Chain A
Amino acid sequence: MYAALFSQLTTLGSSGVLLFGIALLCRRSLHTFVDAFKWQSLVLAALFVVVGHFGGAPELYFVAVVFFALKVVFIPRYLERLARRVSAERESEPYVNITSSLVIASLLVLLAYAITRPVVLASQLPTRGGLPLAMGVIFIGLFVLISRKNALTQIVGFLVLENGIALLAVLGTFGIPLIVELGVFLDVMMGFLVMQVFVYHIHDTFESIDVEQLNQLRH
């Protein structure tokens, strides 16, 4: 009963994470885009707590707090500010339109299911049902990166990709060793900071943050 609840909660949570990931694909304005990411991170943080509680991994509470601070509070706020500064409220047309994006996303999720089959079989954890969804989030993050033209949305795509892996880690292993987890957070933060520096650079040198124009270096 307990285990079943745990399993259902995690599957629900991972579905939530995936759903927000897909929701990201239908968003046009940067504001809503960041919002979707914020919600996704929030669900993920909650999932940390759930797994921490049911799985008997108390350090996950701590991870959840840090995660919340970083990805729900700090990064979205910074992104918003960044968007205002570089005056990129709206995204230009993506390479793939929304309808096709959704179709591709669903295909990617199917692929994720197919590929993670052996992983699911290998794992005995009650949370294993969510593993394909985590893989799906990873793929969708990649897809966002490929299909969006704006530097800021690419950052978000990258963060979604990371969320996918965090989800994978928490579902598959109840969290990786703490020291690694902390290192990863450090990297994420630094990476994010460096990226936002570059967004400024791009804005300063190219007068827009449309990545499409970054095509001078060839061959």
Chain B
Amino acid sequence: MTFVLLLFPSLLAALLAYTVRPYRVVVGWANAWLSLVSLGAALAFAALVLAGSEAPTFGPSEILRADGLSALLMVCVAAVAALALFFSPGLGRESQYDGAQLRRYHVFVNLFIFAMLLAVSANNVGIMWIAVEATTIFSAMVIPLALTKASVEASWKYILICSVGITLAFAGTVLTYLDFVALSGRAENALNWPVLLSAAPGLHPEVMRLAFVFLLIGFGTKAGIAPMHTWLPDAHSEAPSPLSAMMSGVLLAVALYAITRWKVVVDAALGPSFSNQLLLLLGLFSLLVAAFSLVIQRNYKRMLAYSSIEHTGLICIGLGLGPLGVFAAFLHLVCHTAAKSMLFLLSGEVLHRYRSTELERVSGLLKVMPWTGALFMGGILAIVGLPPFGLFISEFALIRAGFAAGRPGLMAAVLVLIGVAFVALLRHSNRMLYGAPPEGVAIGEIGRWRIAALFLSVGVLVVLGLTLPAPLEALLNQVVKVVAK
């Protein structure tokens, strides 16, 4: 039942947006409020998991399932989705988009949310793959809301690269299934994750190695792991900001979730060292590419996108560092989700006011919009890993895990690269925040409620920076139990 409450609202919202024609403001609001139902359901799952109940399942051949890992991701996805929907275009009176565009936006964004929620609640890894593939398709439809050369280019690259990548992931899925069939014959629920996991120790290591490479490359494309990240800066910078917020905040997390799921299976077959090494390798490479791409950057949304790649890299490294690392990685994921979604939403407001995504054209943000500017600064400080924000703690935990895993050299490299990203990000954001505002930019704040909503994000980050609430800690421990026994 809770699964219905989780998944159904976004489908309903998409349907609503589809049937009401032309678009009305009330639809946008209805969708936003509906998303809170999903959030409630996600929280309910988290509570269930914390209460210690066996992972609840749903549907024919247990097609949906919610263990700790899923619950954590559900909460993240639902929360960011709700936040993004409240910031969506078409909720106020004036909008830069026309009715048809708004309608298309609301239909596909809700489908996108549905696909993400499905991906994290699917028990069947095949369904999970389908849902992840669907996220690409739906989100690609929203990127070029206003048809410009840049947005069309970005969305074409996005859909092609991600489709290719994700197809490769399917090849990996098939290879695993093939191995499973070779081991124990065909079975209808063979692709269910627990079934797969229990069979995993008997699977052929050589096949599983190949399969994991396909899966890692495939889902890694979606997660923005270098060198498959190339679509990410383009798509994030051209998408409407609420969509960017979701893509950067949770879509990457969903893809990482898929990788984690598969990692568990592969580890059961191979032992953890193979997948860990690949994750560390690709994570470090992502960090390298992202950090140095940040050094010379002219566009603030792209800057944020590269920062997402950086954090994806960090999370990958965390995943490759054993239980402590997994704990840190998912804490990092939660914090990054909160911070980055807020930053992208704010960047939407900045873009709206300055009418440019060029760093050079944006200055004096703190004067133009004091609260927005302050929030933006808070977000930047958070993502570069300064206290009192959660990422400081999670990065600390991550680095500590690296030292505990006996990889000081790797951690040294990580620290240096984080440092490069740190300076680069602060340099660019300083330019945005301070100085004199350019001529012709109106001075004044955005809506009070939006500010308040984003202060929630900051609040979450600060709380995570100073303490670790017991429920979250328990949930993360559940995740660690699922991922790295």
Contact = CB atoms under 8 A, between A and B. Distances in A.
Interface in B141-187: 141, 144, 147-150, 152-157, 159-160, 163-164, 167-168, 170-171, 174-175, 177-179, 181-182, 186
A121 B149 CA distance: 49
B190 A158 contact: no
A76 B298 CA distance: 42
Nearest to A204: B147
Q: Is the interface of A mostly helix, strand, loop or mixed?
A: helix
A122 B204 contact: yes
Given A123-B178, A124-B182, A205 B126 contact: no
Contact of B293 (A125, A164, A206, A219): A219
Contacts of A57: 186
A201 interface: yes
A166 B207 CA distance: 18
Contacts of B149: 205-206, 216
Contacts of A176: 126, 174, 177, 191
B140 interface: yes
A154 B160 contact: yes
B186 A118 contact: no
B153 A216 contact: yes
Interface string A135-146: 000100010010
Interface residues of A, number: 50
Contacts of A116: 210
A190 B167 contact: no
Contacts of A173: 174, 177-178, 181, 186
A217 interface: yes
A154 B159 CA distance: 12
A119 B210 contact: yes
Given A118-B204, A165-B167, A219-B297, A201 B152 contact: yes
A123 B175 CA distance: 10
A219 B141 contact: no
Nearest to B140: A194
22 contacts: A116-B210, A118-B204, A118-B207, A122-B178, A122-B204, A122-B206, A161-B164, A169-B174, A177-B124, A177-B189, A187-B137, A194-B159, A198-B140, A198-B144, A198-B152, A198-B159, A205-B152, A214-B156, A217-B234, A217-B237, A219-B297, A219-B302
Interface stretch (A24-32, A46-54, A178-186): A178-186
Contacts of B50: none
B228 to A, nearest CB: 13
Contacts, number: 154
Interface of B: 63, 124, 126-127, 129-130, 133-134, 136-137, 140-141, 144, 147-150, 152-157, 159-160, 163-164, 167-168, 170-171, 174-175, 177-179, 181-182, 186, 188-191, 204, 206-207, 210, 233-234, 237-238, 293, 296-298, 302
A205 B156 CA distance: 12
A19 interface: no
Contacts of A5: none
Nearest to B169: A165
A117 to B, nearest CB: 8
A183 B130 contact: yes
**Most chain A CB atoms below 10 A, which of B126, B159, B174, B234:** B174
Interface string A112-136: 0001101101111100000000000
A217 B150 contact: yes
A191 interface: yes
A206 B182 contact: no
B147 A205 contact: yes
A184 B130 contact: yes
B-side interface mostly: helix
Interface of A: 57, 115-116, 118-119, 121-125, 138, 142, 145, 151, 154, 158, 161-162, 164-165, 168-169, 172-174, 176-177, 179-180, 183-184, 186-187, 190-191, 194-195, 197-198, 201-202, 204-206, 211, 214-217, 219
B182 A214 contact: no
Given A172-B178, A201-B156, 9 more contacts: A169-B174, A173-B174, A177-B190, A179-B63, A191-B159, A201-B155, A214-B153, A217-B150, A217-B233
Contacts of B163: 158, 191, 195
Most chain B CB atoms below 10 A, which of A121, A161, A180, A204: A180
Nearest 6 Cβ contacts at the A-B interface: A180-B126, A118-B206, A172-B178, A183-B130, A122-B204, A214-B153
Contacts of B204: 118, 121-122
B137 A177 contact: no
B167 A161 contact: yes
B167 A168 contact: no
A194 to B, nearest CB: 5
Nearest to B205: A118
B130 A202 contact: no
A177 B153 CA distance: 36
Nearest to B299: A219
Contacts of A191: 133, 136-137, 159, 163
A205 B154 CA distance: 13
A168 B153 contact: no
A119 B176 CA distance: 10
Contacts of A177: 124, 126, 188-191
Contacts of B164: 142, 145, 158, 161
A119 B296 contact: no
B179 A183 contact: no
A59 B191 CA distance: 17
A195 B154 CA distance: 13
A193 to B, nearest CB: 9
B154 A217 contact: yes
Given A187-B137, A214-B153, A172 B210 contact: no
A162 B171 CA distance: 9
Contacts of B144: 198, 201
Contacts of A122: 178-179, 182, 204, 206-207
